[in-house]
Chains A and B, each alone.
Chain A
Amino acid sequence: MSEAVKNMSDYKNDLAFDVKDLNLWYGKNQALKNIDLQIERNKVTAIIGPSGCGKSTFIKTLNRMIENIPIVKTEGEIIYDGKDIFNKSVRVEELRTKVGMVFQKPNPFPKSIYENVVYGPKIHGIKDKGLLMEITESSLKGAALWEEVKDRLNDNAYGLSGGQQQRLCIARALAVQPEIILMDEPTSALDPIATYKIEELIDELKKDYTIVIVTHSMQQAARISDKTAFFLMGELIEFDNTKKVFSNPRDKRTEDYVTGRFG
């Protein structure tokens, strides 16, 4: 690798996603309008906005999960790892291995805790039992769940509490060794204590992962994120350091929203 290319890639390495002029339609309804956004590595980026502003749509575009809805049409570029993720040479399976996702409602498989964690590694071809056990332990530790479940790995995941289930889903996402974790309102179905634990976990995870989190709660965004993007009616209104967005927003609409005047 030549020096120049290396420098280039170093510079690129600071960015997890470079979203360029992204437009998205559900049939004829435009849900995202000209989004330009740079998501930095090893930071927590929060996406806030009122219901129907396109924040969930946006986060699901980053790992192309949105394409499971057949009527969706996209335009523009999202550069990840030096490539446009919409490029034909990019395989979604590969992209989603690198860009993991945690959903709004905890969605463990109706299997044992162990089977849940090793689902990803197994589909990617790991068969060695010792290795799978190692992955299980490190993933569950990574999701701060190991101590609570280490004695009952073969119990059904549905026996766990909602907060534990959500951390299991995080562990399951960690098990495929992603670089980025997308979280779509991960605490909206949880009680305050479970929410607190997940927030603590996010703070821990950002050392090793890039996190993009959609949240309904502005307090949550203020507490855990480094950068905040405010979406409204499919447009990116403001994107800046979280402190700036909450204390001294540039746009009047952002101010109205973060001070609770609407939304």
Chain B
Amino acid sequence: MSYESQILEEDIDMNQKKQEKFKIEISEKRISRRIKLSRISRYIFSLSLVFAILVLVILLYRIGVDSIGWLNVNFLTGKLSIFPERAGIFSVILGSVYLTLIVIPVTLILGVSTAVYLEEYASNGKIKRIINTNISNLASVPSVIFGLLGLTVFSRMMNLGSSILAGGLTLSLLVLPIIVVSSQEAIRAVPGFLKEASLAMGATKWTTIKKVVLPVALPGILTGSILSISRAIGETAPLVVLGIPTLILTTPNSIFDDFTALPIQIYYWTLDTVLTPEYANLAAATIVVLLGVLFLMNSAAIIIRNKFQKKF
């Protein structure tokens, strides 16, 4: 109804404009000025891209130069050590991998389920609006605060200490609101006429969600999830608050063991450069590894996403 009346109003507006009968004069000068402006705007926009790329290139260059000679097989497979030339980050990489393995299932299952409930089941009303606003607000809470939450709930109350599980759950909390919001948007973007088509054939709501809504929304859900999970893997502050140890000489064997992760190690080594200048090179080499890990994760996720996109 309201849609139709809106169209009607637009029609009326158009008619009124026609009745005014203004004449459009084609002047050579005006047109060439407009074309020029259009061209310039293209350069302005591409300039902002150049800025972003420039910063990235400088960063990669600096780190690359610093890590030369330090990033080798021994560094990747060795154990941590206080002596720079003997230090290796195998256990650190392992720590980050364990974290990812906790964060991905926890956030995807909880986040997507929450989004499905809010978009498909919850009735529109005040409560839903309040919840939605709060989730959006949570998404912008600084990560240190999530670290404190993790310290209180997981480390202290649940007695998980500074284990991988405590770290993983804390990072999951950090990512969850972002995944909920982006999944909600992806689900909301599924056209209503597809859901109608399914319901009109006698499908139940759940069948419709499972067979139409989620498959159509999946690429969008994955895009949001990939970005936010990558953020979590590079996050330092919450882990610092949890009290992740500086130096760990054993490799973690289960999710209840203490651990250290790539961003944490970068942070500690950078802090200690004052004492041992070579730590700067170790930090640089670790950054290269972290970027590599993130790059791999993102590519894997993009491949998965494209596969689903084609399938549906």
Contact = CB atoms under 8 A, between A and B. Distances in A.
Contacts of A95: 202
B28 interface: no
A169 to B, nearest CB: 7
A107 B204 contact: no
A70 B122 CA distance: 11
A124 B202 contact: yes
A123 B193 contact: no
A103 B193 contact: yes
Nearest to A106: B193
A63 B197 CA distance: 12
A120 B202 contact: yes
Interface string A66-78: 0010100000000
Contacts of B198: 109, 119, 123
Contacts of B312: 110-111
B192 to A, nearest CB: 9
A231 B123 CA distance: 32
A173 interface: yes
A123 B211 CA distance: 9
A105 B193 contact: yes
Interface string A31-75: 000000000000000000001100000000001010010100000
B200 interface: yes
Interface string A147-169: 00000000000000000000001
B196 interface: yes
B4 interface: yes
Contacts of B193: 103, 105, 107
Contact of B199 (A68, A94, A109): A68
A24 to B, nearest CB: 13
Contacts of A187: none
Interface string A103-128: 10101111100000001100110000
A93 B204 contact: yes
Contacts, number: 66
Interface in B179-225: 191, 193-194, 196-204, 207, 211-212, 216
A254 interface: no
Contacts of A93: 202-204
B50 interface: no
Contacts of A123: 198, 201-203, 207, 211
A68 B196 contact: yes
Contact of A172 (B124, B199, B201): B201
A97 interface: yes
Best-buried of B123, B197, B203, B312 by chain A (most CB within 10 Å)? B197
A186 interface: no
Given A70-B124, A109-B194, A110-B312, A63 B200 contact: yes
A221 B110 CA distance: 51
A206 interface: no
A251 to B, nearest CB: 25
B199 A107 contact: no
A176 interface: yes
Interface in B1-56: 1, 4
A123 B202 CA distance: 8
Contacts of A197: none
A85 interface: no
Best-buried of B124, B193, B202, B212 by chain A (most CB within 10 Å)? B202
Contact of A109 (B202, B207, B212): B212
Contacts of A92: 202
A95 B124 CA distance: 27
Best-buried of A111, A123, A169 by chain B (most CB within 10 Å)? A123
Nearest to B7: A51
A109 B4 CA distance: 26
A11 to B, nearest CB: 28
Contacts of B194: 107, 109-110
A119 B194 CA distance: 12
Contacts of B203: 93, 120, 123
A172 B193 CA distance: 14
B211 A100 contact: no
B4 A169 contact: no
B199 A97 contact: no
Contacts of A94: 202
Top 8 nearest A-B pairs (CB, nearest first) are: A97-B202, A101-B200, A107-B193, A96-B202, A120-B201, A93-B202, A107-B197, A123-B203
18 contacts: A52-B1, A70-B123, A93-B202, A93-B203, A93-B204, A96-B199, A96-B202, A97-B202, A105-B193, A107-B191, A108-B197, A109-B197, A109-B198, A111-B312, A119-B201, A120-B203, A172-B201, A176-B202
